[in-house]
Amino acid sequence: MRSIHLVTQRLNAQWRPDMSISLAALELLSGLAKVKVNIDSADRKRAVSSICLYIVYQCSRPAPHHSRDLHSMIVAAFQCLSVWLTEHPDMLNE
């Protein structure tokens, strides 16, 4: 799905410092994971990889940036990752 590619690309390139846009993007990705269409393996890997990169980036931010908002973004990203792995359990074998 082209939309997965576009959202994951923007999430890690432009949107990661913006909480509201990041949360919306993660919610959209969670919804796309639940759509019952054949999602290409490369797109699934891209989604999971991008979510993981997003989590790593947010967790590595310096102490002055640690806030409730940052915590909320990290929790939302882990929830999104959980949805992807629950909806596509075959990815755990890759």
- Which tokens in the block code for residue 45? 């890997």
For the chain, what is the total number of helices (H) and then of strands (E)? 4, 0
pLDDT at 34: 93
3-state secondary structure string across 51-62 = HHHHHHHHHCCC
Domain region containing 67:
2-93
- Burial class of residue 28, CB neighbours in 10 A (0-12, 13-18, 19+): middle
User: What's the pTM value of the predicted model, to 2 decimals?
Assistant: 0.89
In contact, 65 and 88? CB cutoff 8 Å: no
Whether 22 shows a pLDDT value over 90: the answer reads yes
pLDDT at 64: 82
Whether 65 shows a pLDDT value over 80: the answer reads no
How many folded domains does the chain comprise? 1
Q: Vertex 40, ends 51 and 72: CA angle to 5°?
A: 15
How would residue 7 be classed by pLDDT, with cut points 50, 70 and 90? very high
pLDDT at 31: 95
pLDDT at 58: 93
Whether 56 shows a pLDDT value over 80: the answer reads yes
